[in-house]
Amino acid sequence: MQDLLQAGQAWLADQLRAHVAKEVTYRRGADEITVRATIGRTLLKLDDGYGGVRMVWTDRDYLIRAADLVLGGNPIQPQRGDQILEALGTQSHIYEVLAPGDEPPWRWADPHRQMLRIHTKYVATEA
């Protein structure tokens, strides 16, 4: 049985997917799937190598329901090197799953592990 916060988080994830998200293509090698993703960014605190901290923005984050990220019939977790294609007019912008420094390329976006926050870097544009 879900607690009240978990039910609220599930409702919010459904609302984001239905009203704020757009369709993108998630690609790993030759496998790909169309999913709905909410677009954002994250400010990361990274070690500067001298005992300090430097702040770096991700190029783009994609919030995707974990249940939607399925390739070959199996649920997956994002991996460095996967790609997300976002259509803008007649072109597709390609973002690679990646985070600067030793940061993980994705995080759970909520405490109940319903939404993935996937960090990416812009790599190319396709016609």
Q: Which of 6-10, 37-41, 83-87 has the highest mean pLDDT?
A: 83-87
Q: How far apart are CA 55 and CA 93, in angstroms?
A: 25
Q: How far is CA 114 from CA 88, 100, 106, in A?
A: 27, 24, 13
Residue type for 61, please?
A: D
Residue indicated by tokens 């072109």: 91
According to the model, what pLDDT value does residue 11 have?
A: 82
| Tens digits of residue pLDDT in 1-21 | 568 888 777 787 777 777 778
Which residue has better confidence, 40 or 9?
A: 40
Q: What is the pTM of this model?
A: 0.83
Task: For CA atoms 62, 117, 28, 46, give the dihedral sign.
Answer: positive
> Does residue 32 have a pLDDT over 80?
yes
Neighbours of 127 (CB within 10 A): 5
Q: How far apart are CA 119 and CA 26, in angstroms?
A: 13
pLDDT bracket for residue 36 (50, 70, 90):
very high
Percent of the chain with pLDDT over 90: 57
According to the model, what pLDDT value does residue 1 have?
A: 55
According to the model, what pLDDT value does residue 107 have?
A: 93
86 contact partners, CB below 8 Å, separation of at least 6: 22, 24, 39, 60, 92, 93, 95
Mean pLDDT of the chain: 89
